[in-house]
Structure formats: structure tokens, C-alpha cells
Structure 1
Amino acid sequence: MSDSIRITRDPTAPGPIVRGFAATGYRVGEIAYPALLLSPDWHEPWSPPPFEALTAEAVEPLIAELPEFLLLGTGATLRRAPARFVAALEARGLGVEVMDSRAAARSWGVLRSEGRKICAALYPLDA
């Protein structure tokens, strides 16, 4: 019998996980979505407003679940989130982590595997 301890990490978390990227967007299961809302328990296609017009109402189904914070994927490149959007979420006690959409999708999987209660709104990869 060995006294060594083996530590392994479960690479999956309950709920939806972005499994990859396709020409048409984010692959969750066998379906690719151009833009996506993700919660720990569900996912759905998203028709986001133009980025500069983003409001808290556009992500209301997510923030109603009171996550730790929102991952905002800004499209193909990193952009600063609209100040009004960030202020509206912060007024509700939610932080906003902003990154390009590919990085946000990858971060989603890592953070969910840690059991974090987060949500994500991912703009299209070509935006």
C-alpha cells in the first residue's frame, strides 16, 4: 500500500459547457450558436443588441439568478464594456469580467469546473 495521494480534477462541471468553436459560433453539445447566454443550469441563443447599446435588460435572465459575476465576451476583440451596463450590474451587486469571446468561453469552462456560480453573455465571434 502506498502512502502517496493522487489528486485529480474533474474536467467537467454540471450544466452547459462550450466544447469548441465552429464557423457558426460556440458549440454546446452538437449545436453551434452565433451568440450565447450561459448560466450554471441552462443556455440559450442570444440576439444581443449592438455592443455600445448593451443594457442590463439584455442579460436579465442571467442576472436574475444572482451569480457571483457575469463574464462578458465582447466578440473577436477585447472592448471596454459600456459604462452604463457595468454601473447597472454593479448597482445590483454583480461584477463584470470583460474579455474577448473566445477567452470568455474558455474561462467559462475553467470557472464552472471549480464550481463557481457565474453566468456569461457571449457576443458573436465575428463581432
Structure 2
Amino acid sequence: MDLSLDRPGDYLFVRRVAPHAITVVDRELNTSFLLSPERVVEQWPVSSALALTDRNVDAVLELNPEVVLLGTGTRQQFPPAAFMAGFLKRGIGIEVMDNAAAARTYDLLAGEGRRVVAAFILPSGNAS
């Protein structure tokens, strides 16, 4: 039997999700980060969904998303309303899910050519 590697197109994709790290293409990241199809913003200074404020919105908006996926770790945890409102009042959709679900959804939307940004929160021992 012949096996072949089916690689996604020319965009950054999530290859693997673990409780304390996420692999983007072939690089393992272990601090919270932002991901768009063109760019990774490493060391996003967020350690918990509950700590997000409207001040955290600008870093995500710099990536020009039409939809934002917030991965909150191994379990879904909703951030404060002020953070969510920062996107909704600009007409940008935001979905909150665990990191594994956010990664799957991100890969699907990025593969479709959508302007998606995934914001992944990794455990507080790994982010400031």
C-alpha cells in the first residue's frame, strides 16, 4: 500500500494539540499565541479566559479577522462580556471553544481561504 502526505495549502495550520502545547506546521508553541493563515503572534500575554479585557482585543484585530476563534485550554471557558463585545460591536464574529475544537475549526476555515484568527490560551504556567 502506498501512503502519501496530504499537506494543506499555503497557510499556517495546526498539526497537533496537547494540553500544554500546540504545534503549528512543525513548530511547537507552549505559550499563549494568536494564529492567522499568514502569521503567528507568539507569547500573547494571556493566561486565562477570565483575565481577558477589552484591552486584549486590539492585538487580535491587528490580524484583520472576519471571525475569531478563542481556544480557552482543555475546557471551554467564556471570557468577560467586555472582551466579547470588542469584536461584536465591530461586526466580527467570535466563537469560544476548547483548544482542540478551535484548532480543528481554524484549519477548516483557513483551508477555505477565510480571514480567521485563532487565539489560543495555554496554561498559566506557560504564559504571563
Please give the TM-score of this superposition, normalised by the length of structure 2. 0.78
> What 5-or-longer segments of structure 2 have no aligned partner?
1-5
**Is 2:23 aligned against 1:30?**
no
Q: For 1:58, which of 56, 61, 86 is the aligned residue?
A: 56
- 1:22 and 1:32 in contact (8 A); partners too: no
Percent identical pairs in the alignment equals 36
Larger radius of gyration: 1
- 1:68 and 1:117 in contact (8 A); partners too: yes
Q: Per the alignment, do residues 18 and 56 of structure 1 end up closer, same or farther by CA in structure 2, a change over 3 Å counting?
A: farther
Q: Which amino acid in the other structure matches residue 36 of structure 2? A: S
Q: For 2:81, which of 80, 83, 88 is the aligned residue?
A: 83
> What 5-or-longer segments of structure 1 have no aligned partner?
1-9
- 1:24 and 1:32 in contact (8 A); partners too: no
After TM superposition, give the deviation of residue 91 of structure 1 in Å.
1.5
Q: Which amino acid in the other structure matches residue 33 of structure 2? A: L
Runs of 4+ in 1 over 6 A off after TM superposition: none
SS in structure 2 opposite 1:27? strand
> Which protein has greater RCO, CA pairs closer than 8 Å, 6+ apart?
2
The count of aligned residue pairs is: 117
- 1:37 and 1:43 in contact (8 A); partners too: yes
Distance 1:17 1:85 in 2: 25
After TM superposition, give the deviation of residue 120 of structure 1 in Å.
0.9
Give the superposed CA RMSD. 2.1
Distance 1:92 1:60 in 2: 12
Please give the TM-score of this superposition, normalised by the length of structure 1. 0.79
